[in-house]
Amino acid sequence: MPDLDIALIDGIRSASRQMVRELGFMEATVAATDYPPSAVHTVLEIGLRGPMTAMQLAEFLHLEKSSVSRMVHKLIEAGELKETTDPIDARSKPLSLTAKGRRTLATLHDFGRRQVTGALGHLSKSEQRTVCEGLRLYAAALKADRQTGREAAPALDE
């Protein structure tokens, strides 16, 4: 790992915490729904990627299988998701959005787009592109670091 400035690292951490708060992830429910963040992400990802099993969802969202199972059960009871049997593999139970789930997905997209549009309205076109590229790069770097399987980062050189 290259030598990094501790002030830079702390600045990124601070901005990340502020983003989490500004996006509403510290609240019990998010994105103008009655659902917690994990349920909102479930509706978004199934809506964007198509049917997936609870195990695939747990892997994709980096959540424990038991937590995903409880959350999926609640979303099925709420009428947001439906579980079907895969015609090729009867053991597989893909989850997909119901009509209500598709309406919730549309509401989530509308909320998120309004939130981002409002924030970007305070930036120049160049700054908007910088934000997009910076977030893309940072998210990719976080994923790459997670995939290395490291429990903790090495000590930082000052």
Residue 83 covered by a domain: yes
State the pLDDT at residue 155. 52
Give me the domain span that covers residue 62: 6-147
How many structural domains comprise the chain? 1
Tens digit of pLDDT for each residue in 36-54? 999 999 999 999 999 999 9
Distance separating alpha carbons of residues 39 and 61, to the nearest angstrom: 10
Residue 17 covered by a domain: yes
Residue 157 covered by a domain: no
Residue 1 covered by a domain: no
Exposure of 68 by Cβ count < 10 A (0-12 exposed, 13-18 middle, 19+ buried)? buried
State the pLDDT at residue 2. 62
Give the global pTM: 0.82
Residue 155 covered by a domain: no
Residue 78 covered by a domain: yes
The CA-based diameter of the chain, rounded to the nearest angstrom, is 58
Domain CATH number, residue 119? 1.10.10.10
Distance separating alpha carbons of residues 36 and 26, to the nearest angstrom: 10
Residue 74 covered by a domain: yes
Instruction: Please state the rounded mean pLDDT for residues 91-95.
Output: 90
